[in-house]
Structure 1
Amino acid sequence: MQTFGRHLLMEYQGCDREILDNPEQLEQLMRSAAEAAQATVVAAVFHSFTPCGTSGVLVLQESHLSIHTWPEVGYAAMDFYTCGECDPFAGHLVMCEGLRPEIHEIMDVDRGNIDRPHSLDITDHRIEGRRPRPFAAGGQR
């Protein structure tokens, strides 16, 4: 059985705040991202918080796509885990187009490499839109 998967951790800052607080728009955008990644949606759950914010997940035949938003600061955290022939990076591009972040950060992690000493392998980590702040003493930003 194939255990390999690709997991993107995505940070979006400076996003359209109205979209971040609209679960219907987020679900449609995420469904478009899943389609672009060639993933199959099997279920969706979204929840709105008071006074603002949304959490949502698409359960995929190939794994999952989730989001948590903080519209008051224009921030969204996303998680896109796929196995098989999916391309989660294609979904990330759809999310960038829809959320219009000023800054996005993405970490690309290979998972399930069980025939290797470490099953997790970070293959890429980048920030686009501005230069990262340097680390301060003690590893704090």
Structure 2
Amino acid sequence: MNALGRHILAEIYGCDENVLDDCELIEDIMVKAAIEAGAEVREVAFHKFSPQGVSGVVVISESHITIHTWPELGYAAVDVFTCGNNVNPWNACNYLTKMLKAKNMTATEVKRGVFEQPVKVVNM
């Protein structure tokens, strides 16, 4: 079975609320997580909410990494979607868990673009 990509949906709990509410720090951590995974960073976009919380995306050549934080709950929702065989999305998830000072992380990996046989591209 062939898949175009791997998509990890991570639930990260018991995080440091100060880290989760610091937009610049979250951006830095996310970019470094992409690099830890072996990805090539293309663009970043992050937003600080009022009164609290951060959402952001790191666009990588291999797809994307996103985060949404709830500092008041010590919780972060993270998606790491990678294509190809040269990037390990678990490295990004593990790095994020460590840097958010989390007590617990649960994650599910979903294969994206699953094909029973090799994909044939047809130009139209």
TM tier relative to shorter chain? 0.7 to 0.9
Matched length: 115
Find out whether 1:34 has 2:19 as its counterpart.
Answer: no
Q: Match for residue 57 of structure 1?
A: 57
Q: Within 2, Cα distance between the matches of 1:83 and 1:104?
A: 23
Residue 3 of structure 1 and its aligned partner are, at CA, apart by 5.9
Instruction: Confirm whether residue 86 of structure 1 aligns to residue 56 of structure 2.
Output: no
For residues 57-88 of structure 1, give each alpha carbon's deviation from its aligned partner in whole angstroms, at most 9, with x where no partner exists: 00111000000000011110000000012100
| Aligned 8 A contact 2:13 2:103 in 1 | yes
Give the TM-score, by structure 1 length: 0.78
Instruction: Give the equivalent residue in structure 2 for 1:69.
Output: 69
Percentage of pairs with the same residue: 43
Alignment of 1:1-141 (within 5 A): 4-84=4-84, 85-115=86-116
Q: Give the drift of 1:112.
A: 0.9
Unaligned runs of 5+ in 1: 117-141
State TM-score, norm by structure 2. Answer: 0.88
Deviation at 1:96, TM superposition (A): 1.3
Pick 1 or 2: higher relative contact order, CA cutoff 8 A, min separation 6: 2
Instruction: Report the 3-state secondary structure (helix = DSSP H, G, I; strand = E; otherwise coil) of the residue aligned with 2:114.
Output: coil
Query: C-alpha distance in 2, partners of 1:96/1:76?
Result: 9
Q: Structure 1: which 4+ aligned runs deviate by more than 2 Å?
A: none
